[in-house]
Amino acid sequence: MLNQIQADWMGYFISQVMPAPFETDSLLVDRLHQGDETAFRLIFDRLHRKIYLFAYHFLKDKSQSEEIVQDTFLNFWLHREKLDRLRPIEPYLFTIARRTVTDYWRKAATAENFRNQLYQRMEVSRNDTEEVVLLKDLQRITEEGLQMLSYQQQQIFRLSRFDGLTYEEIAEKMQISKDTVKYHLVNAMKKLREHFEKYDVIYIIWLVIFIH
* Residue ranges in the chain whose pLDDT is less than 50: 1-21, 112, 114-115, 119, 124-126, 208-209, 211-212
CATH for 112-210, options being 1.10.10.10, 3.30.1650.10, 1.10.357.10, 3.40.50.720: 1.10.10.10
pLDDT of the residue at 30: 93
CATH 1.10.3720.10 fits 17-108, yes or no: no
The percentage of residues in the chain with a pLDDT greater than 90, rounded to a whole number, is 37
pLDDT of the residue at 36: 93
Contacts of residue 203, defined as CB under 8 A and 6 or more positions apart, other chains included, come to: 102, 196, 197
pLDDT of the residue at 18: 38
Q: How many CA atoms lie within 13 A of 188 on its CB side?
A: 26
Domain positions in the chain: 17-108, 112-210
pLDDT of the residue at 132: 55
Q: Taking the model in full, what pTM does it have?
A: 0.50
The predicted-structure confidence for 157-190, as pLDDT tens digits, reads as follows 888 877 778 899 999 999 999 999 999 999 998 8
